[in-house]
A = this chain, B = another copy of it.
């Protein structure tokens, strides 16, 4: 890659993901990242002061893609109950695709996720906020009843109740023959709970 291109944080993160995919989280170094970019490792450190900061940023970028992909279900028009089912279905599909489509990259990010629990907590909060916004819309549309405490608490409960279908700890179960039926039954339970 030409070093003459401006070295942006985004370019460094892209290269870091590539290096992580190639060498694995145990072996990947900042020097490898610099080599891929054709720059000195000092140039990389000017953007990310430590290797840990770089790994944290790449984890955040990877998780952020999910938030972006789910955005349409939050922003779009249409009845909130359908958008909620769409959001939950899309999240499950994204997680399954990540787990099944590129198991090595998934394993790599499982290691990074273990190292960066604060990033994961913030990511979960973003996901819960997306649910909360759909719940508020649904309440305004008279589709969903008022929450028992507040939208944030109910949104968290919806997120937790569907944990089996987005938490990578359950990835091994996602190829079971009855997983679609199980997912549909839980979503239907959640919808019944929310209904006005």
Binding site for B on A (CB under 8 A): 145, 148-149, 153-154, 156-158, 160-164, 167, 169-170, 181-182, 185-186, 188-190, 192-194
**Closest residue of B by beta carbon distance from A185:** B157
**Closest residue of B by beta carbon distance from A145:** B192
A154-B189, A156-B185, A192-B192 known, 13 other contacts, Cβ within 8 Å: A145-B192, A148-B192, A149-B185, A153-B181, A157-B186, A157-B188, A157-B189, A158-B189, A161-B162, A163-B163, A164-B167, A169-B170, A189-B193
User: Shortest Cβ distance from A8 into chain B, in angstroms?
Assistant: 37
A181: which B residues are within 8 A, CB to CB?
A: 153
